[in-house]
Amino acid sequence: MMMDEKYIPEYGVEGEKKRSSRTQQVIVIGSGLAGLASACVLAARGHAVTVLEKNDWFGGKAAVLNADGYRFDMGPTILTLPSVLRRVFSEADRDLDDYLELIRLDPQWRCFFESDSDRSGDSRFDEQANVLDLVADVDSMAQNIFKFTSSQKDADGYRRFLKMSEQLHGVSDRFYFWKSIGGIRDTIDVGGAFSAAVLKDVMSLKMGKSVASVVRSHVPDKRVAQMVDHFTQYVGSSPYASPAVLCGIAHMQTEEGIWYPVGGTRAVPEALTKLALDLGVTMRCGTDVMRITSENGRVTGVVTANNESIRATAVVSNCDAVRTYRELLDGTPQSEKFERKNHYEAACSGVVLYLGLNRRYKHLLHHNFVFSRDPEVEFDFIYNKGEPAPDPSAYVCAPAISEPEVAPADGEALYVLVHTPYLRSNHDWKQMLPGYREVILNKLERTGGLENIRDAIVYESALTPEDIHHRYRVLDGAIYGLASHGRFVGAFKPANRRTDFAGLYLAGGAAHPGPGMPMVLMSGWIAADSLDQDSTTF
């Protein structure tokens, strides 16, 4: 092995493609990004794969809305760590660039904060005082922070934070990524647990500390801290309750950047679907799987809503992990055992507004965050009280700056996401949405400088937690699968390789390593790789 090759324990040299010695008949339930990644990797390794999708499109949440000349990505809009996607294509000796065009975005985000005048009721927007751009280069970002805060302490603290984040990223690469993990015992080889190197890595994880506490120990300015907190919003959890190891996400993003797929995020599942078809995968939409069948602790196939029985030697479920056990495996002893031990909590949900505008707001970048006045109050409402925050943060995507074709001339296909609690029994979003829409639009006007936005809207649609729950069959409408709460074990999700059912594998945001586009793609790769490793024992 050459010195510059990257070695991953159990998997060999990174990018090395293994071929199965025994072909399996595999069903992939669901065609989200994880399901598509699994299907492509398994087909590339010689397995016979069928993808079953209940909706009439492939790609799960990465769907598209076309209306009145506007095109909206309906789900994820931020692509980081493109190396994960490239690895999926490399399994088939294919070049991602032949399937997908990517544009790097830098600045990565524009952040809008409320000033004291905003809080006193003065709605004047001051871009100079209230706006901070996140750029990839650490030294340039530190200079931005110094100009914004007039504090060298915050600028130097950001540099130290990114250095620490890089270390956490390295630990994640060694112990957490690219293999099936269900808990802390799976991350460390017990035989090497007492080596100095392993102990040093374990100590560096800052066990028992939250993301928010670590962030604020580096950058005391509350606005900068709020921006840095939002690196972890890819996992849909409160930074006050999430483990500090998730601070490693910051380095992952700054190292590889943020990218825009030409054609929108929808272009990613389209590229994966094309690859799957090129590799001979059978793709069936409009096929709703109702049950996974099994005999003697081994999966045998699935039954669809049309009562069609399809045999298989292995199943990859890209459905929500909890709902897989609760619904698709209902009535089995394994389902009952999973429920008894189920300590998982749904991550947050959200309201998405799709706003077709007859104008562009020139001060917006492609990705923008319009922040709440007090994040601690905001997160308390969402994660503890279980109610929509009265003063929320809003993510705003304005893609026309990168691809004007998303809207009519001089228009904008604005995507606005506000996190909300996961769906509770007392939530009726048909009644709640109109009032919360006004809260969101007021926030965009007051803090984001989107003056007279109501007058600019010529097309509008929305997605609520209730819609998300039914449309994507996720747990309680959670956008990001399972919450990453718990300062010691919050980063752990259900393992991809199941030990209770031979031939069952989980992939997606509610399985290891968790939510976010690169993580679900990695989840699909891990499920496929685990299945392929096990295939000689089926």
Asked if residue 350 and residue 323 are part of one domain, the reply reads no
CA angle 240, 469, 503 (to 5 degrees): 90
For residue 508, count CB atoms less than 10 angstroms from its CB and return exposed for 0-12, middle for 13-18, buried for 19 or more.
buried
Instruction: Confirm if 500 and 334 have CB atoms less than 8 A apart.
Output: yes
Tell whether 77 is covered by a domain: no
Distances (CA, A) of 96 to 84, 90, 100, 258, 329: 11, 8, 6, 16, 36
Asked if residue 356 and residue 335 are part of one domain, the reply reads no
pLDDT tens for the 538 residues of the chain, in order: 333 333 233 333 344 455 555 889 999 999 999 999 999 999 999 999 999 999 999 999 999 999 999 999 999 999 999 999 999 999 999 999 999 999 999 999 999 998 765 554 555 556 666 999 999 999 999 999 999 999 999 999 999 999 999 988 888 777 778 888 765 555 554 344 444 454 455 445 555 688 999 999 999 999 999 999 988 777 788 889 888 888 899 999 999 999 999 999 999 999 999 999 999 999 999 999 999 999 999 999 999 999 999 999 999 999 999 999 999 999 999 999 999 887 788 889 999 999 999 999 999 999 999 999 999 999 999 999 999 999 999 999 999 999 999 999 999 999 999 999 999 999 999 999 999 999 999 999 999 999 999 999 999 999 999 999 998 888 899 998 887 776 545 567 899 999 999 999 999 999 999 888 999 999 999 999 999 999 988 7
Tell whether 194 is covered by a domain: yes
In this prediction, residue 184 carries a pLDDT of 55
Asked if residue 206 and residue 141 are part of one domain, the reply reads yes
End-of-domain residue from the set 477, 511, 526 = 477
Of 108, 60, 63, 101, give the one whose Cα is nearest residue 82: 101
Measured over the CA atoms of residue 458, residue 464, residue 468 and residue 470, the dihedral's sign is negative
Asked if residue 362 and residue 402 are part of one domain, the reply reads yes
Give Cβ neighbours of residue 153 (< 8 Å, ≥ 6 apart). 220
Instruction: Confirm if 78 and 517 have CB atoms less than 8 A apart.
Output: yes
Asked if residue 250 and residue 187 are part of one domain, the reply reads yes
Asked if residue 362 and residue 284 are part of one domain, the reply reads no
Asked if residue 450 and residue 357 are part of one domain, the reply reads yes
Of 315, 256, 208, give the one whose Cα is nearest residue 516: 256
Strand order, beta sheet including 298-304: 289-295, 298-304, 309-311
Range of the domain at 159: 137-256
Tell whether 383 is covered by a domain: yes
Tell whether 289 is covered by a domain: yes
Look at strands 349-357 and 109-112 and give their pairing.
unpaired
**The one-letter amino acid at 88:** V
Asked if residue 362 and residue 339 are part of one domain, the reply reads no
Tell whether 12 is covered by a domain: no
The region that residue 331 occupies, defined by phi over 0 for left and psi between -120 and 50 for alpha, beta otherwise, is left
End-of-domain residue from the set 239, 256, 273 = 256
3-state secondary structure of 435: helix
Asked if residue 469 and residue 522 are part of one domain, the reply reads no
Asked if residue 252 and residue 155 are part of one domain, the reply reads yes
Tell whether 114 is covered by a domain: no
Instruction: Confirm if 415 and 354 have CB atoms less than 8 A apart.
Output: yes
Tell whether 370 is covered by a domain: yes
Asked if residue 228 and residue 149 are part of one domain, the reply reads yes
End-of-domain residue from the set 229, 256, 283 = 256
**Could you tell me which residues are beta bridge partners of residue 290?**
none
Instruction: Confirm if 68 and 356 have CB atoms less than 8 A apart.
Output: yes
Query: Distance between CA 27 and CA 29 in Å, rounded?
Result: 6
**Could you tell me which residues are beta bridge partners of residue 310?**
302
Number of domains in the chain: 3
Of 321, 357, 368, give the one whose Cα is nearest residue 456: 357
- Look up the CATH number of the domain holding residue 270: 3.50.50.60
Tell whether 131 is covered by a domain: no
Look at strands 7-8 and 12-13 and give their pairing.
antiparallel
Asked if residue 338 and residue 357 are part of one domain, the reply reads no
